[in-house]
């Protein structure tokens, strides 16, 4: 019965508007020079071609508002790098007019997402209070001879050297290396600012968590053969390597 | 030179008040003028354990607020004239305690007392913090189980960083480990942490072990500090602990199971 089917189609909605938040890579342009841009973009894309392939991007013009840029050329360069421009953000009036001529949407300066009305508050980042046992300014490295108790947190701009036990629930954070000539039962985070060459040494590994430059391993994932024994820990291509010493 | 002792643990129900009462009575009986202060404002218990609940007129908060003098609030023990109790207020909460107020009371007590024992509330908040802030010595009361040990460890961290001595870079608070509710038979079965386990985790010197004992509950119910029950295990243990704290050499007891005699072996059960 064709008549019926037509009326059914008429009743059913063909589409609906919904707001949705997606994450888009943004190219923050610092320099309007298109040859420089072309070269650097291709270098970047060549590092991970499959990652960038057909990815949509937004061009942020906030830093080049004062400059004269050739938006048309930039868009073409981006297209040849197999990226798709889905719009611009900020920009001077002239730049925004150029975007309109290219039928590119213009996003508001302050909106971070595609749904400015639903703007989410940025998640609050907790920055825990750090109470160094001794004044780290006096010495880059920190020597601790008293037990580090549960709930205590020690931060050193250099290395941390400890001759007493580190209790479960205690946290050691060092921008450099961590040496523990005793039991480590708490957490030890070396190279907290990203130093991948940082090392952790301890004479008895019972740690809750170990981490070097953000690459961490929890207690559960530490091999039983390495527990309760003296170890050296280093980072090898984002993998924590624990070695008996 | 008087000393301020804090009896603390982090965790609740481990025996802080029992210990405060027993230590207070023990020190007083050895001839030292001793005051025991209940810092558990709102959850007053020490008066019950010491059997003076019917003689409470003024309390700690009254003194801090200037509504009573120290002498009006101190309750003299009927069994030992060297022991005084300063009860907590039951109708207030911990916010009623102020750092200045506590300091003033302690300074005044120091003038006439040899030992001032601060019975800390559980937790690590205001009450517990004020109880330990001015301390010279700390008794860490721990039960042989993991959560109590961890809480004690946390408390030790606070003692070494947030006390007056720590803040002024003076000699740190002297910490003593007191293991209570210890049952050697259950340790042997692996149901409880051993003295060695606890000491290893806390790295503290052991002042003494108080065995799990019915005498403790009986003593609490009757308002008699358990140390006065001289025939009981727990009473003996506290007597040893007092002596050890005062510097006497007393060998550790109650750590290992008693060897059963011939009759014990014959009528095992």
Q: Are A133 and B156 a contacting pair at CB < 8 A? A: no
The tokens for B136 are 């010279």
Residue A169: other Cβ atoms inside 10 A: 20
Decide: B165 and B138 in contact? Cβ < 8 Å: no
What is the least distance, in Å, from the CA of A241 to any CA of chain B? Answer: 27
Enumerate residues 6+ apart whose C-beta is below 8 A from A14: none
pLDDT tens digits, B154-165: 999 999 999 999
What whole-number distance in Å separates Cα of residue B152 and Cα of residue B177? 9
Taking an 8 Å cut-off on Cβ atoms, the answer to whether B153 and A149 are in contact is: yes
Q: Is the ipTM of this complex over 0.85?
A: no
Average pLDDT over all residues of chain A:
81
Mutation target to probe the A interface, by most A beta carbons within 10 A, among B11, B167, B203 is B203
What H or E segment, with its residue span, contains residue A142? strand A142-144
Task: Find the closest chain A residue to B172 by CA distance.
Answer: A146
Average pLDDT for chain B: 93
Judge contact between A78 and A60, C-beta under 8 A: no
The CA distances from residue A31 to A26, A61, A67, in Å, are: 15, 9, 8
Render pLDDT for A91-100 as a digit per residue (tens, 0 to 9). Answer: 888 888 888 8
Spell out the residues 6+ positions from residue B233 whose beta carbon is closer than 8 angstroms to its own: B211, B213, B215, B254
Span B225-256, pLDDT tens digits: 999 999 999 999 999 999 999 999 999 999 98
Q: Is A149's CB within 8 Å of B203's CB?
A: no
Q: Could you tell me the pTM of the whole model?
A: 0.67
Q: Provide the token pair at A242.
A: 């624990």
The answer to whether A228 contacts chain B (CB < 8 Å) is: no
Say whether A59 sits in a helix, a strand or coil. Answer: strand
Report the alpha-carbon angle A171-A175-A176, nearest 5: 105
Q: Report the alpha-carbon distance of residue B143 to residue A186 in Å, rounded.
A: 21
How far apart CA B206 and CA B191 sit, in angstroms, is 21
CA diameter of chain B = 65
* Nearest to A190, CA basis, from A226, A223, A162: A162
Chain segment A131-187, per-residue pLDDT in tens: 544 444 445 889 999 999 998 999 999 999 999 999 998 999 999 999 999 999 999
B72 touches B152 (CB < 8 A) = no
3-state DSSP of A70-127: CHHHHHHHHHHCCEEEEEEECCCHHHHHHHHHCCCCEECCCCCCCCHHHCCCCCCCCC
Strand A215-218 relative to strand A209-212, pairing: antiparallel
List A218's β-bridge partners, or say none: A209
Closest by Cα among B202, B206, B197 to B240 = B206
Contact B153 A164 (CB under 8 A): no
Rounded percentage of chain B residues whose pLDDT exceeds 90? 91
Tracing tokens 């508001």 back to the chain, one arrives at A108
For A98, half-sphere exposure in the C-beta direction (CA atoms, 13 angstrom radius) is 19
Q: What 3-state class would DSSP assign to B176?
A: strand
Q: Which among A131, A151, A185 has the least Cβ separation from residue B154?
A: A151
Q: Which of B223, B194, B202 is nearest to B154 (CA)?
A: B202
CA A167 to chain centre: 30
- Write down the pLDDT at residue A25: 79
Residue A28 pLDDT grade (very low, low, confident, very high; cuts 50, 70, 90): confident
Within its chain, how far is the Cα of B74 from the centroid?
Answer: 18
Task: Name the closest residue on chain A to residue B201, using Cα atoms.
Answer: A167
Do B50 and B85 form a contact (C-beta atoms < 8 A)?
Answer: yes
List helix spans (H) across B90-202: 99-112, 126-133, 146-162, 164-167, 184-188, 195-202
B205 touches chain A (CB under 8 A): no
Contacts of A147 in chain B (CB under 8 A): 156, 202-203
Chain B residue nearest residue A146, CA to CA: B160
CA distance A139 to chain B (A): 18
Would you call A152 and B203 a contact, using CB atoms and an 8 Å cutoff? no
CB contact under 8 A, B203 and A165: yes
pLDDT in tens, B102-153: 999 999 999 999 999 999 999 999 999 999 999 999 999 999 999 999 999 9
Distance between start and end Cα atoms, chain A: 82
Task: Give the helix ranges, DSSP H, for chain B.
Answer: 16-29, 46-49, 60-64, 70-73, 99-112, 126-133, 146-162, 164-167, 184-188, 195-202, 214-222, 233-245, 262-266
Q: Cα B127 from chain centroid?
A: 15
Nearest-5° angle of CA A184, CA A159, CA A134?
85
Question: pLDDT digits over B141-152, tens only?
Answer: 999 999 999 999
Residue A102, CB half-sphere, CA atoms under 13 Å: how many?
20
pLDDT (0 to 100) of residue A13: 79
Contact B160 A148 (CB under 8 A): no
The single residue listed with the structure tokens 């810092």 is B39
A174 Cβ contact partners less than 8 Å away, ≥ 6 residues apart? A142, A155, A156, A158, A159, A160, A189, A190, A191, A192, A198
A32 vs A196, higher pLDDT: A196
| CA–CA distances in Å: residue A61 to residues A30, A70, A107, A131 | 8, 12, 11, 42
Residues of chain A in contact with residue B151, where contact means CB-CB under 8 angstroms, are: 150
Question: Which residues of chain B have a CB within 8 Å of the CB of A146?
Answer: 160
């Amino acid at each position: 019965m064709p008549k019926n089917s037509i009326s059914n189609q008429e009743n059913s909605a063909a589409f609906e508007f919904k707001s949705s938040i997606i994450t888009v890579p943004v190219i923050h342009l610092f320099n309007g020079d298109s040859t420089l841009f072309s070269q650097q973009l291709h270098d970047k894309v060549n590092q991970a071609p499959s990652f960038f392939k057909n990815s949509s991007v937004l061009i942020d013009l906030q830093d080049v508002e004062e400059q004269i840029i050739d938006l048309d050329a930039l868009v073409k360069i981006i297209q040849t790098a197999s990226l798709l421009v889905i719009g611009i953000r900020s920009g001077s009036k002239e730049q925004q007019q150029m975007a309109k001529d290219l039928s590119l949407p213009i996003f508001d300066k302050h909106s971070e997402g595609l749904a400015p009305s639903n703007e989410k508050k940025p998640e609050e980042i907790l920055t825990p209070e750090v109470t160094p046992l001794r004044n780290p300014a006096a010495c880059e490295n920190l020597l601790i001879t008293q037990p580090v108790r549960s709930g205590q947190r020690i931060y050193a701009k250099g290395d941390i050297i400890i001759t007493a036990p580190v209790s479960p629930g205690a946290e050691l954070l060092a921008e450099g290396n961590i040496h523990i000539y005793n039991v480590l039962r708490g957490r030890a985070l070396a190279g907290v600012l990203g130093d991948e060459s940082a090392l952790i040494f301890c004479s008895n590994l019972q740690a809750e968590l170990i981490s070097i430059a953000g690459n961490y391993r929890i207690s559960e994932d530490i091999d039983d053969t390495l527990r309760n024994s003296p170890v050296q820990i280093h980072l090898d291509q984002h993998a924590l390597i624990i070695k008996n010493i | 030179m008087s000393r301020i002792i804090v009896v603390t643990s982090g965790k609740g129900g481990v025996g802080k008040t029992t210990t405060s009462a027993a230590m207070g009575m023990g020190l007083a009986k050895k001839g030292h003028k001793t005051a025991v202060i209940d810092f558990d404002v709102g959850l007053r218990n020490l008066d019950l354990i010491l059997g003076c609940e019917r003689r409470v007129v003024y309390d700690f908060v009254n003194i801090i607020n200037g509504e009573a003098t120290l002498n009006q609030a101190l309750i003299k023990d009927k069994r030992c004239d060297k022991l005084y109790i300063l009860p907590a207020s039951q109708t207030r909460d911990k916010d009623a305690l102020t750092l200045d107020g506590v300091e003033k009371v302690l300074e005044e007590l120091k003038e006439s007392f040899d030992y001032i024992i601060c019975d800390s509330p559980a937790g690590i908040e205001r009450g517990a913090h004020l109880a330990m802030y001015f301390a010279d010595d700390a008794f860490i009361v721990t039960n042989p189980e993991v959560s109590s040990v961890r809480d004690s460890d946390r408390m030790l961290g606070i003692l070494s960083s947030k006390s007056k001595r720590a803040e002024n870079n003076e000699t740190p608070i002297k910490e003593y480990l007191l293991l209570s509710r210890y049952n050697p038979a259950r340790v042997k079965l692996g149901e409880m942490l051993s003295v060695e386990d606890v000491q290893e985790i806390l790295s503290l010197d052991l002042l003494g072990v108080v065995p799990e004992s019915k005498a403790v509950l009986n003593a609490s119910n009757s308002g008699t500090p358990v140390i006065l029950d001289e025939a009981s295990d727990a009473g003996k243990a506290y007597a040893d602990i007092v002596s050890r704290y005062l510097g006497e050499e007393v060998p550790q007891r109650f750590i290992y199971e008693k060897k059963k005699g011939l009759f014990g072996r014959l009528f095992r059960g």
